[in-house]
Amino acid sequence: MLKKILIANRGEIAVRIIRECLDTSVEAVAVYSTADSESLHRMIATESVCIGRPAVRDSYLNMGNIIEAAKGTGAEAIHPGFGFLSESSEFARKCREAGLIFIGPSPETIDLMGNKSAARELMQKAGVPVVPGSDGIVENPDQAVEVAGRIGYPVLIKASAGGGGKGMRKAADESQVREGFLAASLEAENCFGDGSVYIEKLIENPRHIEIQILADSHGNVIELGDRDCSIQRRNQKLCEEAPARNIPDDMRQAMKEAALKAARAANYVNAGTIEFIVDKENNFYFIEMNTRLQVEHPVTEMVTGVNIVREQLRVASGLPLSVSQEDIEIKGHSIECRITAEDAFNDFRPDPGKIAFLHFPAGSGIRVDSALYNGCTISPYYDSMIAKVIVKGENRNDAIRKMRRALEEMIISGVKTTLPIQHLLMYNETFIRGNYDTGFIEANLGVLLEIYKAAGEAVTSETVGEENV
């Protein structure tokens, strides 16, 4: 087993991984920017190294400084977390060249799957259904119009290097395709340094269902079941649950088999996720593979009892997975709410600042993954996600009740957060019934905000009326 690893990340995910190291007697080296010198991940690590100035390119994306920190502290491996360098094949390669283990798949696999357009082609060859769309990259607006005409409107223009919902544009006609092509390319160039785009048919308000994969270097590939991540704002997930509700058994089985096929086709090793969208007729289509640990991995941990980060450390150490497919049994139901420091009444603008008072919920079946502490400062330089509240219930209704209780108990003061919105979501009839899709937030956010406004900070079961679950 690895003895010492460096965690090339910050915030809640760095804390999550460092805790795992400490629990398994692995020494954890934190890295931090000058803006993060008082951050929790630095304080709980075995040791820590400053890697540069606050801007991400100077610190958390600074490959040279991170690798130097690993070598200087005698770390054998680097865990990249999610975001930042987690899907950079260049970084994975640099680790290898420096004699360090990158905790994730090989750079070759990242190249194969990180290019979303190339991944589509590979999946098609492997017999995994993909959304109808372009064969590879679309070079210019004229070609985009030609492709869109062939697959039929409406379409979605997507960045091949895309992530986090960035670099995507809907188009319902020829002029929108021309506009969308340029806008998506520009955004992709700015966000990812690669402006190439491809086109998919726009599936109207699909569900987003994904399968968690674990694979080791001994040829074992297993799935840990599904998650529904359809509660999204601007193509970014807000709330996730496992298992997905209202899907027929044969379809669930087919999705798992497709995901295993996809992982094998990519020679996948370590933890990864196969994302699908599902249309109204329950046809499912591969959209992408995330070649890393996912934000919402805790819901899968809750219902399977498998510790995904611990398995990642085992796999990176060259050990086989500690569980086989036969061991995997889905028990109960889990929900995760992502809490961000954002002003819901101001187009969700980030609201950094100092935490004046903090109280986290606790009790049976409740987990909070966060880097917050009383009096800490939320920096304006980084992602605004500050906490994930995860619950496990005996069944879905039990999980919803637990999440209501957890969010009612939780207090974060000093900055504006999306906690009240998440809390209201747990009382929403459509959510409770479980008939939602990716169009849910667009259709319901206005109503949620109105209730929130009327209730002020005091969103409780009294203000919204107890919906029976």
Query: What beta strand segments (E) does 216-320 contain?
Result: 221-233, 236-242, 270-278, 284-290
Q: Is 192 in the site for ligand ADP (CB under 6 A)?
A: yes
Residue 121: its H or E element = helix 116-125
Residue 182: its H or E element = helix 174-192
Smaller CB separation from ligand ADP, 192 or 452: 192
Smaller CB separation from ligand ADP, 13 or 313: 13
Write the DSSP string, 63-103: HHHHHHHHHHHT--EEE--SSTTTT-HHHHHHHHHTT-EES
- Residues 6+ away with beta carbon under 8 Å from 427: 404, 461, 464, 465, 467
Q: Is 148 in the site for ligand ADP (CB under 6 A)?
A: no
Q: Which stretch binds ligand ADP (CB under 6 A): 105-113, 196-204, 309-317, 404-412?
A: 196-204
Distance of CA 355 to the CA centre of its chain: 25
Q: Is 171 in the site for ligand ADP (CB under 6 A)?
A: no
CA neighbor of 276 nearest in space, from 228, 204, 224: 228
Dihedral (C-alpha) 422, 427, 433, 437: value to the nearest 10 degrees? -30
Q: Is 104 in the site for ligand ADP (CB under 6 A)?
A: no
Residue 73: HSE in the Cβ half-sphere, 13 Å Cα cutoff: 26
Smaller CB separation from Mg ion, 33 or 438: 438
349 a catalytic residue = no
Distance of closest approach, residue 157 Cβ to ligand ADP, in angstroms: 10
Q: Interface with Mg ion by CB under 5 A: which residues?
A: 275
Q: Which of 80, 83, 107, 350 binds ligand ADP (CB under 6 A)?
A: 83
Among residues 227, 292, 367, 404, the one annotated as catalytic is 292
Do residues 82 and 294 touch, judged by C-beta distance below 8 A?
Answer: yes
Smaller CB separation from ligand ADP, 10 or 404: 10
202 makes contact, choosing from Mg ion, ligand ADP, none, with CB < 5 to 8 Å by partner type, with ligand ADP
- Residues 6+ away with beta carbon under 8 Å from 252: 226, 243, 244
Smaller CB separation from ligand ADP, 137 or 319: 137
- Binding mask 257-296 toward ligand ADP (x if CB under 6 A, else -) reads ------------------x-x---------xx-x---xx-
Based on the number of CB atoms within 10 Å of its own CB, is 205 exposed (0-12), middle (13-18) or buried (19 or more)?
middle
Distance of closest approach, residue 88 Cβ to ligand ADP, in angstroms: 9
Distance of closest approach, residue 137 Cβ to ligand ADP, in angstroms: 15
Distance of CA 162 to the CA centre of its chain: 13
Catalytically annotated residues? 292
* Residues at the contact surface with ligand ADP, assessed by CB under 6 A: 82-83, 131, 156, 162-165, 192, 200, 202-203, 206, 208, 232, 235-237, 275, 277, 287-288, 290, 294-295, 383, 385, 438
